[in-house]
Chains A and B, each alone.
Chain A
């Protein structure tokens, strides 16, 4: 039985196989009834719009169906049931489980109690492998991932997507430039792990200093609640804003990614530029999640 819990569990061959499968699906070379008769449970203990909808859509496009737990307040969770018990029960109803949970490691725990495959759709500040896979897929659709120069920008301390992406990129010999406000830099544990994997990370304080050498700029949201007051947030947020003028300093083939939702990080004028790939990136959630579901269910 195959679970998809963390990019740490995946080697390059496993990631490439999923990206290849996603490419075939996007090219419409797949059986739309591949998962006919299969049922997917969506257990979302936290709010989610795009992840939940894209898994549901992915399942439907493969001929399968989905059942949801509904809101946590209206479920047995409100009565105090443990995640382990919920998983033991629900895994008897369905063929696979997609789980989002506020606690880190929840998906790993679920996989230990489940009789069917578990896919992690985000566990607190921990892992979110489907996001990482669609990030990689978007890069690969634009250029070879091998040796790519990626700038990570924004809240790199708490932003889980950047940690998972950096770890996955280390399998491809990527060079990473990290640009974060003071106090929101990549955690030392991640830096050490990347170094162990042979990936060098260069840290910069200003995006202008590094953008000219990048192939990919991965922007994340700087959360207002990380700052003591609105003034200091606005001060930092404005200095990390991506504008057409900033992209003018970059090479033509630079692509700009963002896991969305964005707030003020990217000027809407960038949306019309050929470099802007973040909506395409979100759309890639469907073929990538279809590939993941096929992998664990077929």
Chain B
């Protein structure tokens, strides 16, 4: 495969859907996990990792065809990709372009690392974290997740 063909694959446009650009390098697969997109979901997804970028050095890109992600869905990725931009594509044209905003609370995204937390039992407690300047605080046990948030993604 020549470099030109590879480059062509990376930047090939989609007709309709969502392009998440400027994802922190290496975080694309975690972004998909946060969005709940797995191999068994129906979306057609392209992932490019460690792409050269004038703005951030290296970046990842995720393209999801035929699905327009709502802003609040995508804002959850701000936890691991705070510089990401969301482009909504219709008929090959970018119809909206926005940055991500860190949500006040994330529900069902991160597992509490505290083995003693009620959210890690068979109780009907959905993982719920308050987003604070110091990290994510568990709604149930007050445990503070300060680093390696991606490791705790459900």
Contact = CB atoms under 8 A, between A and B. Distances in A.
Interface of A: 6, 8, 82-84, 101-106, 108-109, 123-127, 189, 192-193, 196
B38 interface: no
Given A104-B116, A105-B117, A125-B116, A192 B140 contact: no
Given A103-B118, A105-B117, A109-B118, A126 B124 contact: no
Nearest to B139: A108
- Range for the number of chain B residues in contact with chain A: 20 to 34
Contacts of B122: 82
Interface of B: 114, 116-119, 121-125, 133-134, 138-144, 146
Contacts of B138: 105
B123 A84 contact: yes
B125 A109 contact: yes
A124 B114 CA distance: 12
Given A6-B142, A189-B144, A105 B124 contact: no
Contacts of A193: 134, 144
Given A82-B122, A82-B124, A83-B118, A105 B141 contact: yes
Most B CB atoms within 10 A — which of A103, A123, A127, A196? A103
Given A6-B142, A105-B140, A192 B134 contact: yes
Contacts of A82: 122-124
Contacts of B143: 104, 189
Contacts of B142: 6, 8, 104-105, 126-127
A108 B118 contact: yes
B123 A126 contact: no
Contacts of B123: 82-84, 109
B134 A196 contact: yes
Contacts of B139: 105, 108
Nearest to A102: B116
A127 B119 CA distance: 16
